[in-house]
Amino acid sequence: MGLEKEKSDTSIIMDEEEFNRSIEPILAKKGMAYAEEPDRDPGDINAHLKLGFDDVIAEPLSSHSFDSVWIGSHAAFELVKFLFYRVLSTLLAVPVAFVLGVLFGVLSCIHIWLVMPLIQSFMMLLPSAKAVWRSLTDMFVMPLYYSMGKVLSSVRVHVTEN
């Protein structure tokens, strides 16, 4: 029972293919570590806002800055864009969503309770208005149409060659 001064080395020798097969059931049980984020713009409404550094700042082949300047400016651009978006969306998202919710709620209410009943009422009145309009045009316009037709029917056009 003294101090043992010997080291015992143990190792498991396994080829790579066998190792990969042995961990597959473990990974399948746990699932993916990171689930894919849901698409927050499925309609691609804001495709014009998908800008990167290369879309905004670009150096032509004839002139280049130092690589460290280019990398630093790229990092600064992405960081500032990310931070400002996060800060502004944190400050403005809830109030703007509230205002837009009220606006679209009011517009929906006006459309449902005022505009559509008026349109439906006019659509119900149009057949009778059409009958009245037709009778008025038959009384006042048709006699003029027929009389003008009779007057102009006696006009004859002769073409003479010079």
Q: Give pLDDT, residue 80.
A: 92
Task: Please check whether residue 71 is in contact with residue 57, taking contact to mean a CB–CB distance below 8 angstroms.
Answer: no
Cα–Cα distance for residue pair 146/133, rounded to 1 Å: 19
Q: What percent of the chain has pLDDT over 90?
A: 25
Q: Give pLDDT, residue 4.
A: 54
Tens of pLDDT along 152-162? 777 788 888 87
pLDDT at 150 over 80: no
Task: Please check whether residue 57 is in contact with residue 78, taking contact to mean a CB–CB distance below 8 angstroms.
Answer: no
124-145 average pLDDT score: 84
Q: Give pLDDT, residue 101.
A: 97
Most confidently predicted of 10-14, 41-45, 113-117, 157-161:
113-117
pLDDT at 11 over 70: no
77 vs 12: which has the higher pLDDT = 77
Q: Give pLDDT, residue 104.
A: 96
Quote the radius of gyration of the chain (alpha carbons, Å).
Answer: 41
pLDDT at 23 over 80: no
Q: Give pLDDT, residue 32.
A: 54
Cα–Cα distance for residue pair 134/126, rounded to 1 Å: 12
124 vs 150: which has the higher pLDDT = 124
Task: Please check whether residue 59 is in contact with residue 65, taking contact to mean a CB–CB distance below 8 angstroms.
Answer: yes
Burial of 81 (0-12, 13-18, 19+ CB in 10 A): middle
Tens of pLDDT along 82-131? 999 999 999 999 999 999 999 999 999 999 999 999 999 988 888 888 88
